[in-house]
Structure formats: structure tokens, C-alpha cells
Amino acid sequence: MMETVMKRFLTTLAILIVVILAGLTTLVLLVNPNDFRHYLIDKVEQKSGYHLVFQGEMRWHVWPSLSIITGPISLTAPGATKPAISADNMRLDVSLWPLISHQLSVEQIVISGAVLRSTPDSAAKLNQDDPIAPEGLNHISRKNNNASKWLFEINKIKLTDSLLIWQLDNDTQLNMRNIMLSLSRQDDHFINVNFSSNVSKDQQDLTFSLKSILNIADYPHQIAGEINQLEYKMSGINLPTGGISGDATLLFNYLRDQQPVLTLSNLAINVNDNHLTGNLVAQLGKSPDYQLNIASTKLDLDKILGWQPLLQPLIETKITPQISTKPVIATANTDSYDLGYLKQFPFQATISADKLIYRGLIVDSFKSKITNKKALLNVSQLEGGLLGGNFDLPVSLNYENSPVIVTAKPKFNNVKLAPLLQAFNMPDKLDGSLILAANLSGPGYGKFAVLNFWSGNANVILSKAQLTGLNITSLIQHAFSRLTDKVNTPQNLTDNTQIQNLNVDTKLNKGLLSFTNLVASSEAISIDGNGWLNLASKSADVKLLVNINKGWHGDDNFINKLKKLVIPLRIYGKWQNLQYQLNIEKLLRDEFQSQAKKALDSWLEKEVKLQH
């Protein structure tokens, strides 16, 4: 009995399938898809003003869904000379039942290998006879709200393996390749978006993908939503070996009004193991303005910029008594320092981090405030704790003309000097606790500009200082011990000079750092001096007057005289091969002549007394 029922059921099902297939085949044969050509063209032009062109014949495709396959298509904006969209074919997935009454209901549009253009020649252009709306009224009326949503009335749109040609200005064009775009409608208010692509420019490649939900309840006046997944990776020249990669999530709201406003909130970005949070408010249109706030618990710029410390330490400085070389001042063209493009982006920004890492330096409680307005980029706050102390580095860049003129007023308070020098690949032979106040300015920015073009002055105070590689006390005492047996060979064989306090006024002039009023002192030594350092050629010429009041051993009477002696010492040459000049013979000769004169004067005085 059961077997008979199953046979009847299967027979009935087979007959039903045959009938459906026969009916579908008949329907396809009776309905010509080309009959909908003009309907589609008129519908698109009525809703958007764009002109849709079909080339070739349309045909039916019944698997995996009932579809219309077109030939080459193009979609052109009013007055444009090139189409905004062109493709070799397009697939329209349609509903079956409306076809019975010869109506077309499109459920999904699929385009593969399309070329999309966002260029001046593909943009819509007004005819000369078209009326122009008064300023302040050139925005979309809410009465056209429903008509503007016509594209979103389709349940799903898919774009695969496509190209976007995006021209930013006359000289800059971006090509977005391998575009994969999917728009699927949840209901009348929400649309799911999946988008991925890659952009290549100047031997750098950006690959990204995102998933988003759009709220189009008030489209086109407002679009809101969230990006719940954004993944990206950027690689190429001038980028870290592993590239820059990460992910992000955010909420967004775009309000199209007289002054369009884009708001990004709940912004959470991961970039090379750094986590950033913040928000952005962008006023678009003819008078743009941007406000950005970024915060992080730990911001490691070295991971983002790909900075690596030197694998080998800097070459040791040698002190040899040789002839000095003349300083060489480097010159270069400053025309490349042009920031004129920033005039298009007035903004205010704050960036803060509990801990910031830059060139191996750890900055605590980092805070910065930046404004860009009227050709002036002003960093009014750039401060934090650094190497046991703190710093403040306000900077302004005037880019009204080229080259940009930079003004900086750095202040360092009790910052350890040697690690700071080492971080910027400079000789770290001088260490101590640094207090600095400077006023510097010049054309250009970056290390080369500072070392070659800038000018200004600074006061430097260094406490608990140590000069490694040169023991001034031992150097002078050795020189005396080789020339007279009244001075013993010094026992202190360390290769450094300990200075308790050092104070110097400096002046920078295009790479030449001259200094006067150098005063240094410790328990055993006091130094006065002046000279210069050539930062570009890495050479120096320093003249010191040294008094050593401790550490002498030998004849007591002679040592007591040496403790009062001021000894000239000249240090000069390349930083990696410093030389010195110490004329001990003249000092001893002058001392012996002075002693002989005193002895002769004493003898003559005695003879005169005896004669009387």
C-alpha cells in the first residue's frame, strides 16, 4: 500500500516538474527580452538623468536563475563625453511571475569587468540654457527623496573584477583595480555593503576590503551607518619591510546640505600592532574644515615607519696630534620644500598617547595640538616626558611661499643627552642632564635642512656631564710628565672627563654652530672656552683654557704652581678623528724664565742690601 502511494507521488511530482519546465520554456519563447530595452533605458533616464546604451541583442539565461544577458553597455551622465560605467555585458536576474503579465521585475544586477570613471570628462555638465540655482539653494529637495532611491529598490547589485579610474586633479589619477562590490537590501532602510579593491601608485600598493551597513532612510540628504569590518595592507617602496596593515571599525554619518558634513565616530584603528581611537568631523564643500582627535595607550611609530636602530655603533673618536682640516659648509637647493597643497586642507587635530615610541625613544604622556589655516601649519603643543625629564617643541611652518619657513622653539628640561644623540645617529660621546632653550628658524624641514639652512641661538646647560673618549686632565698631565721629572705620570687612566656643570651660549648659522662663554667646572677642573662645530661636515675647532687643581703628583712646589696655571688646549678636526694642540714646552719655558727672573731679582736685591 505504502509503495503504491510513493509511486503515485513521484509520478505526480515528475509531471509537475515537466509542466513547469514546459511552461517556463514557453514563456521564454513567447517573451522577447529585447522588448524591455527601451523600458530600461527610459526608466534609468527618468530616475537619474543618465543615458543607458545597450549594444547587441539581449538573450535569456535560465541557470542558476532566470536572467537576461545583455551585450556591451554604457551609462553616461548628462553632457559628459565619456561614460561613467561601461562593461562588456550585464546580467539581470528577474522574477518569473511578473513576466506572465509581460512586466519586468529585476531582483539582482550583476556586472563583471566594468570600467567606472570619475573624471572631468565623465562628470555631468549643465547646458547653457539650464537655470542655475541661487547659492545656498543648490541642494536636493526632499520631494525627490523617493525618486533618488531608485537604484536601491533593486534587491542586490554585484560588481566583479572591475576598474575605477578616479581623477583627483589635473595631475593626479588613481586606478582602483579588482573591484568586488556587493549591495544587498535588508529592507527599505538598510543595505549591506561588501567592497574590496587594490590601488597602486608610485610603486606602492594598497589592498583593502570592508563590510558595512548603510541606513538610507533619509537618502540622499543623509547616509548613516557603520563599517563593522575594514582590513587593509599597504606595501612598497619607502614603507616598512612588512608593510603597513591592520583593521578598523567606525560609525559614520554624511549630511548633505548647504555645507556637507561627514562625521566619523567610535573610530577604532589597529595599525601594525598599534590601537588608536578617535573621531573626525569634516565640513566639505567650498569652505572645507577638518577636526580630528586621536588617542592611544601605546603608539609605536617605529613599527609604523619601519625604523630600525643601527646594527653597528658609531665609529670611535680618536684623539691624535695632527694638522686640522678646514670646515666645509654644505649647500643644497631649498626649492623642494613646498607644502602649498596643504592650503586645501584646513584642519585642527589633537593627538595624545600614554606612551609614544619614536626612534627607540619612549615618550610618556605625549600630547600635541596642530592647526592648519591660512598657509600656516602651527604645532602649538608637542610635549611629553623623555629620558628622565620632559620636553616641549612648538613649531610653526609658514608655507605661503616656497620654500616653507619653519620656526621652532624647543625646550628640554633634565633630559639625558647621550641616548637622545644616539637615537638620531649622532656621536653620543657627550652625556649628562640637558637643559636647553632655543629659538631656531630657516627654510625647509627635516634633518638635512636643520643641519644646512637653519639659524638661531640656544642656551645649553649640562649637569653631571661626561665626555667619553677624551680625558682632558690625564691628557695634560701626561704631556707635563713627559717633559719634566717634577710631574709624575698620572694614575687616572680612564678615557673620560667628568664635568659637574657646563653652561654655554650657542649660535647656529646654516650648519655652523658657534659658541661663546663656555664655562665648565667640577671638583678637579675648570674650563673656559669658545669655538665652533660644523654640523654638516661633522668637524670642529674648540679653544679651551683649562685649570686643573687636583690630581697632580710630583714636586710639591712645582705642583702648587701648576694648580694655578691656565693651560690653553685646542681640539679640532673631523669628529671621527679629532686632533689636539697643547704647547706644553712654551708653558714650561715661560715658567722657568719666570723662576729664573725671580731668582735673579732676589739675588740682586740681596747684593744691593749688602753694599749698603
DSSP secondary structure letters along 251-306: EEEEE-SSS-EEEEEEEEEEETTEEEEEEEEEE-SSS-EEEEEEEEEEEEHHHHHT
**What is the reported pLDDT for 352?**
98
- Examine the pLDDT at 428 and tell me if it is beyond 50: yes
Residues 38 and 34: their CA atoms lie apart, in Å, by 8
Residue 178 lies in a domain: no
Angstrom distance (rounded) from CA 25 to CA 18: 10
DSSP 547-571: EE-SS--B-HHHHHHHHT--EEEEE
Q: What's the mean per-residue pLDDT of the chain?
A: 83
406 located within any domain: yes
- Per DSSP, the residues of 413-464 read EEEEHHHHHHHTT----EEEEEEEEEEEEEES-SHHHHHHT-EEEEEEEEEE
* pLDDT tens track for 81-117: 999 999 999 998 888 777 767 677 888 999 999 999 9
Classify residue 330: in a domain, yes or no: no
* 220 within domain boundaries: no
Residue 408 belongs to some domain of the structure: yes
323 C-beta neighbours (distance < 10 Å), count:
8
Global confidence as pTM: 0.81
Residue 479 lies in a domain: yes
Dig out the grid coordinates for 387 from the structure: 629620558
Read off the C-alpha cell for 108.
Answer: 539582482
Q: By three-state DSSP, how is residue 503 classified?
A: strand
List the domain range (segments joined by +) for residue 569: 340-581
Who has greater pLDDT, 28 or 38?
38
Place of cell 669628529: 575
400 within some domain: yes
**Per-residue exposure over 586-596, b if at least 16 CB sit within 10 Å of its own CB, e if not:** ebbeeeeeeee
Tell me which of 167-181, 264-278, 293-307, 506-520 is least confident.
Answer: 167-181
CA distances from 442 to 246, 334, 368, 410, 509 (A): 38, 10, 22, 14, 10
Is the confidence at residue 367, as pLDDT, over 60? Answer: yes
pLDDT at 26: 55
| pLDDT more than 90, % of the chain | 47
In terms of residues, how long is the chain? 612
pLDDT in tens, 102-156: 677 888 999 999 999 988 888 888 665 555 544 444 444 444 454 445 455 678 9
Average pLDDT over residues 380-404: 95
CA–CA dist 208, 228 (Å, integer): 14
Dump pLDDT digits (tens) for 289-341.
999 999 999 999 999 988 887 655 444 444 444 333 334 344 445 557 888 88
Mean pLDDT of 559-566: 86
Residue 365 CB coordination number (10 Å): 13
Per-range mean pLDDT, top range of 70-84, 262-276, 541-555: 262-276
Query: How many domains is the chain built from?
Result: 1
Q: Is residue 438 part of a domain?
A: yes
